Amino acid sequence: MAGVYLVFDERFQYVNSTFAGMFGYTQEEFVGTPIRDLVLPDFVGQAMEYYRRRMHEGVSSIRYFTRCRHRDGHVVHIEVHGSRVDYRGQAALAGVVIDVSERVRRDQDLHRSRRRLRELASYLNSSREELRSQLAREVHDVLGGMLSSIKLDVFRIQRRSSGPALAEIQEITQELLPLVQDTIDTARQISDELRPRMLDTLGLVAAIRSELEAFGRRNEILVGFMMEGAEPELSAETATQCFRVFQEALTNVGRHAQAETVEVRVRNRDGRFEMQVRDDGKGIDRPSMREGSIGMLSMAERARSIGGSLYVHARAGGGTVVLLAVPGYRGPRSNDRTADR
């Protein structure tokens, strides 16, 4: 049900009941109303310009969107179609109008909820990262420190417990030592899993290589690494986000791909850093992507948060490619790497 109108000399000569109802008036009330009284002040200029073009510049037909005021005050979004016609021997304008308010509101809602989803993902990522760093530090510094003290004490006990009566103590401490060492190693490993120290000391590329090799061993998958260009000079924040994207891409290969090989290509060229994780597995099937999975969402959000982009696509010969592209960072690396931690 479209609204139909006829305008002569910038005023409505005729509207159908749908048109009148769209704005809360009767058909009779509309006769003689100027166009500029219906359209919102900010859009009057544009509406009159289109009117002029059709009437005086030979543009016979125009379609555009504008906003009007309903009788009760709310805004009505409309799509206008109009053509020049002959009205009692003179030029007039006739056409149809469609109320698109609902569609505009739905688009706005969708837009808003997308933005909120992005904000949420970003919040989750940063709070998770903060928590991880904090835990990693505590496990490493506090727990690690305490365990080292225990180890020293065990040594002291061992040194002082000589003589036959103390053989039993010797035996206990002998058993205790490897246990303490194992605990120290485990604490270090947990700390590294939470936040690899290599990322801070040796940089992103070294951290990627080391993680990739460990992944290959654990999953019995062949791994390959290629690098083009020099070590990228990325900020600590950017390096962390890249590394987390890499970890999730790798985790996905292990969980879903059933791949035999995974190849990582890192490229630092023309002020742009690119990282590709390519597997030769079963390939990614978008329609079957699980609802509620957040890995992809989180990777995309991490990429966005550092001004980069993430592309995930199927490889022609089977398998999946995850590509992260980030504009380069040219600041001083050594200072920066510790700056925002």
Ligand X SMILES: Nc1ncnc2c1ncn2[C@@H]1O[C@H](COP(=O)(O)OP(=O)(O)OP(=O)(O)O)[C@@H](O)[C@H]1O
Choice between 128 and 255, CB closer to ligand X:
255
CB of 296 to Mg ion, least distance (A): 7
Looking only at residues 36 through 65 of this chain, which bind Mg ion when binding is defined by CB under 5 A? none
Nearer to ligand X by Cβ, of 256 and 337: the residue is: 256
Residue nearest to ligand X (CB): 295
Q: Which does 115 bind (CB under 5 to 8 A by kind): Mg ion, ligand X, none?
A: none
State the nearest-atom distance from the C-beta of 277 to Mg ion, in Å: 12
Contacting range for ligand X; rule: CB under 6 A; set: 136-144, 174-182, 186-194, 282-290:
282-290
Token duo for residue 107: 């688009």
Q: Is position 295 an interface residue for Mg ion (rule: CB under 5 A)?
A: yes
87, β-bridge pairs: 90
d(CA 276, CA 237): 19
- Per CB under 6 A, which of residues 58..97 are in contact with ligand X? none
Which burial class, exposed, middle or buried, applies to 6 when counting CB atoms under 10 A from its CB (0-12, 13-18, 19+)? Answer: middle
Residue nearest to Mg ion (CB): 295
**What is the DSSP secondary-structure string of 111-129?**
HHHHHHHHHHHHHHHHHHH
Per-position x/- string for 310-339, each x denoting binding to ligand X as judged by CB under 6 A, each - no binding: ----------x-------------------
3-class secondary structure, 183: helix
The residue with tokens 């065990």 is 154
Please pick, from the candidates 192, 211, 279, 301, the single residue that binds ligand X as defined by CB under 6 A: 279
Q: Strands 272-279 and 261-269, how do they pair?
A: antiparallel
272 binds, among ligand X, Mg ion, none (CB under 5 to 8 A by kind): none
240 strand-pairing partners: none
Residue closer to ligand X by CB (options 94, 296) is 296
Q: Which is nearer to ligand X, 47 or 321 (CB)?
A: 321
Q: Which does 54 bind (CB under 5 to 8 A by kind): ligand X, Mg ion, none?
A: none
Instruction: Report the C-alpha gap between 35 and 8 in whole angstroms.
Output: 10
Q: Which stretch binds Mg ion (CB under 5 A): 116-124, 150-158, 167-175, 287-295?
A: 287-295
Per partner kind, with CB cut-offs from 5 to 8 A, the member of ligand X, Mg ion, none near residue 330 is none
Among left, alpha and beta (phi > 0; psi -120 to 50; other), residue 88 is left
Pick the stretch among 94-102, 181-189, 245-253, 278-286 that binds Mg ion (CB under 5 A). 245-253
Residue 255 found at the interface with ligand X (CB under 6 A) = yes
Residue among 126, 166, 60 nearest 341 (CA): 126
Query: In sequence order, which residues have a C-beta less than 8 Å from that of residue 54 and are 6 or more positions away?
Result: 60, 61, 62, 82, 83, 84, 93
Which of 3, 95, 232, 281 forms a contact with ligand X (CB under 6 A)? Answer: 281
- The DSSP element (H or E) to which 298 belongs, if any, is helix 295-305
Tell whether residue 7 is a contact of ligand X (CB under 6 A): no
Number of residues that this document lists for the chain: 341
Q: Which is nearer to ligand X, 62 or 124 (CB)?
A: 124
State which of positions 233-252 bind ligand X (CB under 6 A).
252
Assess contact for 206 and 200: CB atoms under 8 A: no
Number of residues forming the site for ligand X (CB under 6 A): 17
**Helical (H) or strand (E) element with 275:** strand 272-279
Task: Tell me phi and psi for residue 328, to 5 degrees.
Answer: -65, 165
Distance CA 253, CA 278 (A): 9
Interacting residue ranges for ligand X, rule: CB under 6 A: 252-253, 255-257, 279, 281-284, 289-290, 293-296, 320
Which residues of this protein are in contact with Mg ion, per CB under 5 A?
A: 252, 295
